[in-house]
């Protein structure tokens, strides 16, 4: 009887030990993150007066996230220009946005990592020379980690910007563009 009891107890302890090692707990604590990027996009449509409009974007996002998912508030300064002529269209925007991202691996992983990001917001007219309007963007990219643990990313980005208060025969300008960007990613 003692041998049977001892055998059952031993098998339960070994099984429990194996199961405990097999199941790792994944941390889901929310942590602060920030990413900042510089992107250049090329116009896809004839947005204004049969002109394709290219744009330069500088954006930073602060937020909270788990190791793979995050939500943040962004601030973006963008300049939209027709590069074919010196007399072309010129718009400037300062946008506030809500942003989401999803990483393939946890941000703490030092291997090559991939992400998808999206954001939507509104450009407000705070300063003279700035335009207002709805905008959204979507991007995919890769995060590279250096030996010193700094994280940089490369992204392909689609951007949509409406310009309010600029009347055209067929409505307000709707600028669609696609391009590339670089940036830094910090998670604490």
pLDDT band at 171 (very low <50, low <70, confident <90, very high): confident
Encode pLDDT of 65-81 as tens digits. Answer: 999 999 999 999 999 99
Residue with tokens 């939209």: 80
The residue among 26 and 135 whose pLDDT is bigger is 135
In the predicted model, what is the mean pLDDT of residues 12-23?
Answer: 55
Mean of pLDDT over the chain: 87
C-alpha 91/C-alpha 55 separation (Å) is: 9
Q: List pLDDT tens digits, range 146-169.
A: 999 999 999 999 999 998 877 665
Place of tokens 């946008």: 95
Closest residue by Cα to residue 70 from 119, 142, 37, 122: 119
Confidence of residue 14 (pLDDT cuts 50, 70, 90): low
How much is the pTM? Answer: 0.79
Q: How far apart are CA 28 and CA 66, in angstroms?
A: 5
Q: 10 Å Cβ neighbour count for 19? A: 9
* Residue 175 pLDDT > 70: yes
98 closest CA partner among 74, 116, 122, 134: 74
Q: What is the mean pLDDT of residues 74-97?
A: 87
Q: Locate the DSSP E strands across 6-106.
A: 31-43, 46-48, 51-52, 54-65, 69-81, 90-103
Other beta carbons within 10 Å of 127: 8
pLDDT at 46: 82
Tell me if 73 sits within 8 A of 97, measured CB to CB: yes
Domain boundaries, the chain: 26-187
State which H helix or E strand residue 140 sits in. Answer: strand 133-145
State which CATH number among 3.40.50.720, 3.40.50.150, 2.40.160.20, 3.90.320.10 fits the domain covering 26-187. 2.40.160.20
- Average pLDDT in the 170-176 region? 83
pLDDT of 188 reads 83
User: Six-digit token pair at 33?
Assistant: 């993150």
């Amino acid at each position: 009887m003692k041998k049977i009891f001892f055998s059952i107890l031993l098998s339960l302890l070994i099984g429990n030990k194996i199961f405990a090692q097999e199941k790792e707990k994944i941390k889901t604590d929310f942590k602060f993150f920030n990413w900042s990027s510089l992107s250049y996009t090329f116009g896809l449509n004839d947005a204004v007066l049969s002109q394709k409009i290219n744009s330069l974007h500088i954006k930073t996002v602060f937020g909270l996230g788990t190791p793979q998912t995050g939500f943040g508030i962004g601030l973006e300064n963008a300049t939209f220009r027709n590069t074919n002529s010196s007399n072309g269209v010129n718009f400037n925007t300062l946008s506030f946005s809500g942003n989401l991202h999803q990483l393939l691996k946890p941000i703490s992983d030092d291997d090559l990592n991939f992400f998808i990001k999206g954001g939507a917001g509104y450009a407000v007219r705070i300063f003279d020379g700035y335009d207002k309007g709805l905008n959204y963007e979507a991007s995919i990219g890769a995060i590279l980690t250096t030996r010193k643990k700094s994280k940089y990313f490369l992204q392909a980005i689609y951007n949509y910007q409406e310009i309010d208060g600029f009347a055209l025969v067929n409505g307000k300008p709707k600028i669609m563009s696609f391009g590339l960007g670089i940036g830094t990613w910090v998670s604490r």
